[in-house]
Amino acid sequence: MLYREWMEEWLELYVKGSSSERTYKKYRKEAVKYILPALGEYDVNALTALRLQRFSSALSESGLSPGSVNGIVAVLKTSLRKGAVLGVIERQYSEAIVRPRLRAGGVTCFSKAEQKKIETYILASNQPRLLGILLCLYSGLRIGELLALTWEDVDMKKGTLTVSKSCHDMWVDGRYRKVLDATKTLSSERAIPFPKQILSCIRGMKRAATGEYVVEGRSEYGAEVRTYQRTFSRLLKRLGIAHRGFHSLRHTFATRALEVGMDVKTLSEILEHRNPMGTLKRYAHSLMEHKTEMMNKLGRIFVTE
């Protein structure tokens, strides 16, 4: 069997039915654009360790980022492993591939002064849809999770948000449209208690609501991802704050949570990270403002003449 034939079967039989539509389309795109032109005409049993390594190295030399290369190679490896398990491939060598090393990306978050500026403006703006930004600052939600929230997911009595779905924009009929999807992983489905101090804000959103979505848009399906990202960018520009992506709200939530003493396990569960130590490692370096404050407190015991 040629590898392109197996790739097609794997995508249709094992990826399409078990993954989100977004993941399926991403895998297919990477297969068609990168993997099959280089490896598709080889017999599945002719994909030797050396041949696979040459493919990986060629991707790295093409100018793609290490993250992109790793994503493409991950699709290749998963398809080969499945083929070996099913007996389609006699022996596969994907574990021998040496991939480019990823450098840990910097975490960008807002300073306390910037966060206060954002919150003050939103509270005074009388624009209920902007309150979704506050919700992210105090829950750590991703933008897709925020915009998929309906009022059925909000329990005012218990003070919790139930995250059971996400959304993304997809090109449909000549324009980007909001598409609901499952959460990123099964562990992404979670209940998040929100601080009682923002309960009045959430109630204000509920009173102003005209549809089922917490953050409303121009249609009955609530705000779309790209539209809300642009809204956020315009807000930062209006406030004179340097541009940061919407995901910085999640990073800011995590940083503030550690600063006030939230234990790492609790934070990890709220963010739905698999490993608490990974959470600590990712955000520890973003606490310089807090570290400086603590060191200055320590310095108070220094004896001066």
pLDDT at 180: 81
In a domain, 204, yes or no: yes
**What's 208's domain CATH number?**
1.10.443.10
CATH number of the domain encompassing residue 86: 1.10.150.130
- At 184, the pLDDT band (50, 70, 90 cuts) reads low
Range of the domain at 42: 3-96
The reply to whether 155 falls in a domain is: yes
Residues 36 and 65 in one domain: yes
Residue-level pLDDT at 140: 94
Lowest-pLDDT range, 33-47, 158-172, 237-251? 158-172
The answer to whether the CB of 261 falls within 8 A of the CB of 236 is no
- Domain membership of residue 103 (yes or no) is no
285 lies in the same domain as 226: yes
Residue 86 has pLDDT above 90, yes or no: yes
The answer to whether 228 touches 147, Cβ cutoff 8 Å, is: yes
Using alpha carbons, select from 136, 221, 143, 142 the residue that is nearest to residue 178.
221
Predicted confidence at residue 120, as pLDDT, reads 96
How confident is the model over 3-9, as a mean pLDDT? 96
Say which residue, 173 or 239, is predicted with more confidence: 239
Q: Count how many domains the chain has.
A: 2
Residue 256 in any domain: the answer is yes
What is the structure's pLDDT at 66? 84
In a shared domain, residues 88 and 129: no
Distance CA 31, CA 25 (A): 10
**Cα 122 from chain centre:** 24
Percent of the chain at pLDDT exceeding 70: 93
| pTM for this predicted structure | 0.73
